[in-house]
């Protein structure tokens, strides 16, 4: 089993609706993202997944969030753009473009700061 990771980042504003504190007001973050893709075997070149392919897929999804007011993004109109929901959004979108018989997204880590963040992964038993 091989875990390939790609790091990225994006800047965006948001606010947490109905939050009982400062985060209910508009503010921004420079989010850091780490995506892990799990592969079962290597190809003929000795690679589980070409880093270029992984980076392009992550860039495509992360760019859809960059320099946005996340509360206006279609994915977050009905859900707060919390780090948890952002990580799930990135994971679900990567799953659509980075899943083969050999590899698939395993986890997405989203950090609001260097010291706090969230890791999202699906339950392997779930359909």
Q: CA–CA separation, 107 vs 90, rounded Å?
A: 10
User: One of 23, 34, 92, 122 is an active-site residue; which one?
Assistant: 23
The CATH architecture assigned to 2-120 reads 2-Layer Sandwich (3.30)
With beta carbons less than 8 A apart as the criterion, state whether 24 and 17 touch: yes
User: One of 14, 29, 109, 112 is an active-site residue; which one?
Assistant: 112
User: One of 9, 56, 67, 72 is an active-site residue; which one?
Assistant: 67
pLDDT, tens digit (0-9, with 9 covering 90-100), for 48-101: 999 999 999 999 999 999 999 999 999 999 999 999 999 999 999 999 999 999
Confidence of residue 126 (pLDDT cuts 50, 70, 90): low
Residue 125: CB atoms within 10 A of its CB come to: 5
Closest CA to 15 of 26, 28, 2: 26
Confidence of residue 123 (pLDDT cuts 50, 70, 90): confident
Q: Where are the domains of the chain?
A: 2-120
Q: Rounded to 5 degrees, what angle do the CA atoms 95, 117, 52 make?
A: 40
Whether the model clears a pTM of 0.85, i.e. scores above it, the answer is yes
pLDDT, tens digit (0-9, with 9 covering 90-100), for 10-61: 999 999 998 898 988 989 999 999 999 999 999 999 999 999 999 999 999 9
| Mean pLDDT taken over the chain | 94
Q: Rounded to 5 degrees, what angle do the CA atoms 42, 33, 106 make?
A: 40
Confidence of residue 7 (pLDDT cuts 50, 70, 90): very high
pLDDT given for residue 27 in this prediction = 94
Catalytic annotation present for 116: no
Catalytic annotation present for 67: yes
pLDDT given for residue 125 in this prediction = 60
Q: CA–CA separation, 19 vs 70, rounded Å?
A: 16
pLDDT given for residue 51 in this prediction = 96
């Amino acid at each position: 089993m091989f875990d390939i990771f790609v790091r990225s980042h994006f800047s965006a504003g948001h606010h947490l609706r109905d939050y009982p504190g400062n985060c209910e007001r508009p503010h921004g973050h420079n989010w850091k993202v780490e995506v892990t893709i799990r592969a079962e075997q290597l190809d003929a070149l000795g690679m589980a997944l070409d880093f270029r392919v992984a980076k392009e897929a992550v860039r495509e999804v992360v760019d859809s969030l960059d320099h946005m007011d996340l509360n206006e993004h279609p994915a977050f109109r009905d859900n707060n753009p919390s780090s948890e929901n952002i990580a799930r959004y990135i994971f679900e979108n990567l799953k659509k473009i980075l899943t083969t018989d050999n590899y698939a997204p395993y986890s997405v880590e989203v950090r609001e700061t260097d010291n706090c963040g969230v890791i999202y992964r699906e339950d392997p038993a779930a359909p």
